[in-house]
Amino acid sequence: MKIGFIGLGNMGNPMAVNLANAGHEVAGFDMAEVSVSGVTLTGSGADAAKDADIVITMLPNGQILRSVANEIIPAMNEGAVWVDCSTVDVDSARAVADMALAAGVLTVDAPVSGGIGGASAGTLTFMAGGSAEAFEKARPLFDIMGQKAVHCGDAGAGQAAKICNNMILGVTMIATCEAFALADKLGLDRQKMFDVVSTSSGYSWTMNAYCPAPGIGPQSPADNGYQPGFAAELMLKDLRLSQQAAESSDADTPMGMMATELYQQFVESEDGLGLDFSAMLPRFEKRGRN
């Protein structure tokens, strides 16, 4: 296939490399100066999208997504597919899908889970929204860039799935960190707590696969000074998206709201910026009841 790839940052770069290594012709564009093995760099997003069978975008937010839509949709051929792998608000995903539909362009909103490691290894999970036709046309590329792609429904459904998943993740990580901090104050050995919780009703991904306590469970960012696997500021972004979606759909999400407030405080007023989202544990270790 001829592929246009716009947004060649920490995630987009290895994703584009994997597509090129699989034998596809990839033209790429990024606002910053980048070097991407096997990818022909262009001077604009429109140039990357021109005559492409599939255009893939990996962008920071919904505002930029809307701007890029205005640039690339007129350059795309009717019947081409635009796959947006950014994590943005549901309203933006649906708005650009409507713009594309009016121009005869098929769209898939397909945010990812798996982080930079998954992007490099080609083991991402894609949560996809859009028509069945668009999803099937994009599926061969999902198979190259990832290990799983789930068609979640119509336009915006992929973003909805990502936002709901990461709201659970943020809330659960806070609860896991609180529990370790409480265990410390109760004199309970962290390894013993892990041994109990990881095989009991407190079982969770944040405990069993991504434990925030150094030296406990499988290796995680906690074992590397909390250098990010998933940065706290990115968790804050996703939690804010969850609350934006909750407000627009009149959903009551008190735990999601509280998690958003805690990560906002951690990132913007404490020392959380640039650390992994599991660095909430040393935060709670240092705090008392008040």
* Angle 210-214-217 from CA coordinates, rounded to 5°: 50
Place of tokens 């004199």: 187
Rg of the chain on CA atoms, in Å: 20
Helices (H), 186-231: 190-197, 205-208
Q: Which of 81, 17, 75 is nearest to 49 (CA)?
A: 75
* Angle 91-89-59 from CA coordinates, rounded to 5°: 120
Burial of 132 (0-12, 13-18, 19+ CB in 10 A): exposed
Question: Which one is catalytic: 2, 162, 185, 237?
Answer: 162
Question: What is Dmax (Cα atoms) for the chain?
Answer: 65
Active site residue 162: yes
CB 259 within 8 A of CB 167: yes
Tell me how long the chain is: 290
Task: Provide the annotated active-site residues.
Answer: 162
